[in-house]
Structure formats: C-alpha cells, structure tokens
Amino acid sequence: MKVIVVGCGKIGSTIISSLVDEGHNVVAVDTDPQVIDNLTNIYDIMGVCGSGTDCDTLKDAGVENTDLLVAVTTLDELNMLCCFIARKMGAMHTIARIRKPEYNMNNIGFLRQQLDLSMSINPEHLAAEEIYNILRLPYAVKIETFSQRNFEIVEIILREGSPMINSRLMDIRSKFNQNFLVCLVQRGENVYIPDGNFVLQSGDKIGLTASLGEMQKLMRSLGVETKQAKKVMLLGGSRIAYYLSHMLSYAGSSVKLIEKDEEKANSLSKTVSAKTVVINGDGAQQELLLEEGLSNTDAFVSLTGMDEENILISIFASVSKVPKVVAKINRRELIGMAEKLGLDSIISPRKIAADVIVRYARALENSKGSNVEALYKVMDDKAEVLEFKVSGDFSGINIPIKDLHIKKNIIIGGIIRNRKAIIPSGFDRIEADDRVIVVAAGGRLNDLSDILQ
C-alpha cells in the first residue's frame, strides 16, 4: 500500500520506520532537505522536499494514487490543510496530527467531518491515556484495552515471592479461582506463547488477559496492591501533563505538577483543574522533589523533554520508594537501557502514534472481511495483540477452538460476545460478529483467517 508521510520529525520518522517494517511503499515529504537525505539513506523509500500544502510537492509525491496520507508536522493547522488538499487531489484516506487542547476538547468531530479526515491523532493525549491506565492499575507495567474497555491485556513482572513462580500454568489456573489466561511470557530477549506445561520464573514479564473484574480479583489473590494511585507527582509541564492532570483529577486523584519554566508554570496554573497544584521549580533538584513530598506520593511520572533526565529522575524516585514510577522515553536505544536500570513502566508517545497509524494501515490493507479493530505491540515489540471483528465467512466459525488448526506462536486470548468477555477454553467456539483477541509472537496478521494453517 502507498503511504505519504508529511512532516518527518520525531513522530514522522518513527511512523515511517514502522510502516517500512510493515512492507508499505512509503514517500517522505519534508521541507528540510537534510531530513529527506537522512531518511532515504536509512530506508528504501522515496523522498520529496517541499511543503505538504504545496500542490506541486504533493503531485511529485504521487498523491493522486495514494492510499493513505499522514500529516504530522509540528503545526496542527498545516496538517489539517495538507489533508484537505490531499483529499481534493485524490488521496483515498488522510490522517492529521492535531495536538492543541482547544481543538481536541471541543471541535475535533466537527473538524474531521468538514475536512473529510479519516482520523486525527493526538500522541500526547494517547500517551496520557496510557499513563492513566497504568496509574489506575499500579501493579501493571503496561495495559492495553479492547472493545470499549470490556477486555484488557496486562503486562506484569513476576517478583521474588510471587505464588506464580516455579509453577506450571495449568497448575496456576486450577489454583486460583479466577478466569484468566497467561498468553505471553518474555524471559530475557525471548518471547513465548506458553502452553499448560510452561513453568514461570522470577523476573518473567507475563501478559495476562481477563475481564476487568477478574483481573482485580486475581491480583488480590496474588497479594498485589490494586488501589489506584491517589497522590501523583508529575514532572514537566508538557501537553501530556496537561491532559493527564485532568484525567487524574476527574478520577479523584490529587496532582502536584512541577515545571521549571515560570511562564509555562503560570499558564498551566490557570488551565489545569482545581485538584492540581502547579509548582514552579527545577525537578532535577532532589531537594525540591523531597520538599514537595516525593516520598509520600503514590506515583511519580517524569515527562520532561529530555529522555536522559526522565531516566535519572525516575531512578531517584524509585530509590525514594515511590510505589509506581513512569518515565517518558522516546529514543528506542534508551528504552532498553532504562529497563535494565530497573524502570518498568516506560511510555513513548512516538511509538504510540506509530502503532495507531500501523493499525489503521493494516485495516485498510485487509480485504477479507475480518477487520483489524485494534493492534498493539507488546513485550518490547516482539509480539502483537490484535482485535478482529468476525465476519460471517470466517472458516473457523462454530468449530471448537481445540479443533481449529491454529498456527504456531499464535493463541486466542479472548472473545467478546455482546460486551461480555470470555477467556476461551478448547471447547469454546467463535461466532459471527464476535470480537476476537489474538496474540501472535513473531508473525504479522492482516486478517483473522491468517491464524489458521
């Protein structure tokens, strides 16, 4: 599929990388010739230097026969105009990055309709939602939700003393009276789709699927703290912090936001909710963090514009015994380093945005009727979790799962039927109009039929 990406900064470059990995024919458009040269040297793509709102530039990029155009420059208005012009010139689908709160809070539906946008993305809002989900369930390293939040896959790390350690999965399911499934295990650099004889070890990162209520019951059975973080400290007055503070305040949490820039701190103090206290100060100073009550907070989230600073301050928060620490890190090479240093919960707005684009592109590419409703990269991008809506012509309908010839390294993690979550056994069957959660390690799925041999 042909995709044009307009704006090749941090977000755009990450999106291009993900689309190239998916095998799409990508054209990069940017006003900086050095950026275009760098990208065309790294990837097997075409590059066009120019503005995304210039008709000649879009024509050179081949907009008239493009399946998807993604505009992710730093300016919302430019992105919207670019998509509008591209649609008029023949682009089949368009996606614009729209970040400003004033657009997203009130007018986004109207703008999408008037500009004929296929989708708008706001990486900062998406990142804030992901952080909020983690703080809602602080035992989780990462949480992905499906089918209007009726189903979750939760990543947790097994620590010393966990009753799951040194046990076979079949024994664990019989031991705990909850309906859940361990569908993924990451051990070191390897990711497994485990069977019932798989034995868990300390340090394993596991992916659990369950309904919302069952997940909470399971964590309590494991002796894990399940209470939502009520006192939260945010470092850095970014757009992510703005969105997150509103989400947390609405949920009843008290928020303390520390911002070094005085002008930005004053501006934030006028726009955040009444439950958010804005502090003008340098969060890199340990004394300030301690004076503002770091040791007594339930969660600390580092959201400055520097990955290295976020890593170092988050490590200090962990050493200060803060129960939950989340760090924003965009550079891929630093994420692995941060995990080795003990940071479990890491958020990358670039990666979140790229995953959304990849999911949309894969759904467009699919032509067999079982649409990709959601797609998430998990376990350090070594596995995928997808949600499919089942069409009537799927060949596996009404056949017991144990009798389906499912490919290796693929497991059906859940079925949602009439908004009810089902953790499937071998005797459950897939029905038309179900939503099916599929977990795959080491393979790419476009359609539900791809799971069958």
What's the pLDDT tens digit per position in 231-290? 999 999 999 999 999 999 999 999 999 999 999 999 999 888 888 999 999 999 999 999
* Phi, psi of 166, deg, nearest 5: 60, 25
* Burial of residue 209 (number of CB atoms within 10 Å: 0-12, 13-18, 19+): buried
Adjacent-strand bridge partners of 27 = 4, 46
Distance between CA atoms of residues 382 and 195, nearest Å: 18
Residue range 382-394: mean pLDDT, rounded: 87
Question: Do residues 116 and 94 touch, judged by C-beta distance below 8 A?
Answer: yes
Task: Spell out the alpha helix ranges (H) of 366-412.
Answer: none
Smallest CA-to-CA distance from 280 within 298, 264, 291 is with 264
pLDDT band at 370 (very low <50, low <70, confident <90, very high): very low
Distance between CA atoms of residues 1 and 67, nearest Å: 6
Length of the chain as a residue count:
453
Smallest CA-to-CA distance from 85 within 152, 10, 155, 6 is with 6
Amino acid in position 193? I
Sign of CA dihedral 3, 8, 12, 15: positive
Q: Which of 19-33, 63-77, 200-214, 362-376 has the lowest mean pLDDT?
A: 362-376
What's the pLDDT tens digit per position in 10-54? 999 999 999 999 899 999 999 999 999 999 999 999 999 999 999
Write down the pLDDT at residue 225: 67
Question: Do residues 287 and 295 touch, judged by C-beta distance below 8 A?
Answer: no
Write down the pLDDT at residue 277: 95
Write down the pLDDT at residue 366: 62
Question: Do residues 193 and 209 touch, judged by C-beta distance below 8 A?
Answer: no
Question: Do residues 91 and 63 touch, judged by C-beta distance below 8 A?
Answer: yes
> What are the tokens at 20?
């190239």
Domains detected in the chain: 2-121 (3.40.50.720), 137-221 (3.30.70.1450), 230-322 (3.40.50.720), 352-451 (3.30.70.1450)
CA atoms within 13 A on the CB side of 306: 6
